[in-house]
Amino acid sequence: MSARLSHPSAPLTRRGFNHLVVGAGTAGAIGLTAACAVEPEEVEQEPADSDEPIELNFIWWGDAGRAEVTEAALDLYRADHPNVTITTEYQDSGPYKDKLATRIAAGDAPDLMAIRRDQLREYGDRGALADLRTIEAMDLAGLSEPVLAPWDVNGQLIGVPAGLNTIGFIIQTTVLDEYGIDLPDGDTWTWDDLATMANAITAASGGSIYGTAYEMATVANLYVWVRQHGEDLYTEDGQFGASEATIQAWFDFADEMRQAGGFPPAGFFDGTTSAAEASYIAQGRTASQIIPTNNFKSYNEACGGTLALLRIPGESTAPRRGQSIDCPHLWSISSQSSYQAQAAELLSFLTNELAAWEAMGTTRGVPPNAAVAEGLLPNLEADDVTATEYILGLQAEDLPPAFADPVGATEIQSKLADVAVEVEFARITSADAAAQLVATANDVLAG
């Protein structure tokens, strides 16, 4: 670092210094934002029956385990389609979403991709995703109307579920047994039952285990709470449908448990990973939490195989059902792809082919094709059977509809995360938090 200087007592002259600084400093500030624009115009398509060698790029998020089973399914497809080369990439979900944005902006969109529910319309409304109904090679016959309806936006089907999913309450039964607390009935329990159980666990364990701990800022949890209050977080026409009172109650309920001991104190959640092994319930620091049901197997394995999977409380007593099939994970085809027919054929294989699901299992949820789901059931491991039956049971009931999150949902989620922390640390009241969230949401959605 030290330059050799001509005069020993002048480490740096003024002019020499100025020269040094001019280039060094500010160059980095601007470079971040440059990208090129994509013209959303018709892209020339390779015919569906073409035998020409083509290359499909297919990307998703997830861990190495998910990648392994997905590749196994793809290998089946590759064997039948020698002219199709499938290149794949996968990443953790956070960086995945940032990278996808960059790739699409750079005009380098993958042909087939996984998209988060809360980002589907961010891409779809801007014309980045193909209308799957217009692609002849796309086989949608096995998917029921309720499965497809949420992703049918402005008359265009811009995604199909990569797996049916919802959330569930997992409870560590060994903790209940240890303290002689009864396992609630998952079909009929209420939020008050949850509070009673949670407070009892914390008290019985002398505070070493918290009865329950679920993320206040996870939107999938909030969907259910809001629906049970007779509202929708996002309505069908893309508005923010939750009232301040409902949001405030969401914060207040957890806060009451926190006061009573059943819910951990402020700052408890500081985990760096979403891995099941590192979860608080696997570490024995909490006795129950909410998870997406496709993760049940990994949680149960991490927790010694003694978890019970219950429905979200209040389902039998609330004015309206809260649980729905809330798929967080969808497949979409790029409107910029020249191989939409080929991508659709691959997507049809991944959606409707039992052999593909036998290779993949339920890592992304239950097959959206009911016949495939039924055929898969005998081949699943016990934990996946539990989660699959949970979904199939719900599906047989009359559930409220789910809707794709409107454009701007990402920003509303950051606000939810912010106010949740502010309430947790008692820096603002729950009423203020609710008012701020509703105001921000309305502001963002207004345009």
Residues near other proteins (CB under 8 A)? 1-3, 5, 7-18, 20-21, 23-40, 94, 97-98, 101-102, 104-105, 122-123, 126-128, 266-270, 272, 408, 410-411, 414, 417-419, 421-422, 425, 427
Distance of alpha carbon 4 from alpha carbon 16, whole angstroms: 13
Distance of alpha carbon 97 from alpha carbon 105, whole angstroms: 12
Smallest gap from Cβ 219 to other proteins, in A, equals 13
Residue 10 or 183: which CB sits closer to other proteins? 10
Smallest gap from Cβ 411 to other proteins, in A, equals 5
Distance of alpha carbon 94 from alpha carbon 62, whole angstroms: 10
Distance of alpha carbon 441 from alpha carbon 83, whole angstroms: 48
Dihedral (CA of 82, 83, 85, 86) sign: negative
Residue 21 or 355: which CB sits closer to other proteins? 21
Smallest gap from Cβ 269 to other proteins, in A, equals 6
Rounded to a whole number of angstroms, the CA Rg of the chain reads 25
CB atoms near residue 338 (< 10 Å):
14
Smallest gap from Cβ 268 to other proteins, in A, equals 7
Residue 243 or 338: which CB sits closer to other proteins? 338
Distance of alpha carbon 297 from alpha carbon 149, whole angstroms: 28
Strand order of the sheet with strand 329-333?
Answer: 84-91, 54-61, 112-116, 329-333, 160-161
Smallest gap from Cβ 406 to other proteins, in A, equals 13
CB atoms near residue 188 (< 10 Å):
13
Which residues pair with residue 57 across a beta bridge? 87
Residue 148 or 417: which CB sits closer to other proteins? 417
Distance of alpha carbon 402 from alpha carbon 154, whole angstroms: 15
Residue 35 or 183: which CB sits closer to other proteins? 35
Residue 301 or 411: which CB sits closer to other proteins? 411
- Within 8 A by CB and 6+ apart from 370, the residues are 142, 144
CA angle 68, 290, 158 (to 5 degrees): 60
**Contact between residue 199 and residue 262 where contact means Cβ atoms under 8 Å apart:** yes
Of 150, 162, 128, 115, the residue nearest 41 (C-alpha)? 128
Smallest gap from Cβ 76 to other proteins, in A, equals 33
Residue 216 or 312: which CB sits closer to other proteins? 216
Smallest gap from Cβ 208 to other proteins, in A, equals 14
Residue 1 or 141: which CB sits closer to other proteins? 1
Q: Convert 208-226 to b/e letters by CB count within 10 Å (16 or more is b).
A: ebbbbbbebbbbbbbbbbb
**Burial (0-12, 13-18, 19+ Cβ within 10 Å), 328:** buried
Smallest gap from Cβ 17 to other proteins, in A, equals 6
Smallest gap from Cβ 9 to other proteins, in A, equals 5
Residue 5 or 371: which CB sits closer to other proteins? 5
Smallest gap from Cβ 422 to other proteins, in A, equals 5
Residue 126 or 393: which CB sits closer to other proteins? 126
Describe the chain by its helix, strand, coil percentages, rounded to 5.
Answer: 45, 15, 40
22 is written with which tokens? 């001019």
Which residues pair with residue 366 across a beta bridge? 164
In the block, residue with structure tokens 């009423």? 431
CA angle 376, 341, 149 (to 5 degrees): 55
Smallest gap from Cβ 38 to other proteins, in A, equals 6
Residue 145 or 270: which CB sits closer to other proteins? 270
64 is written with which tokens? 């190495």
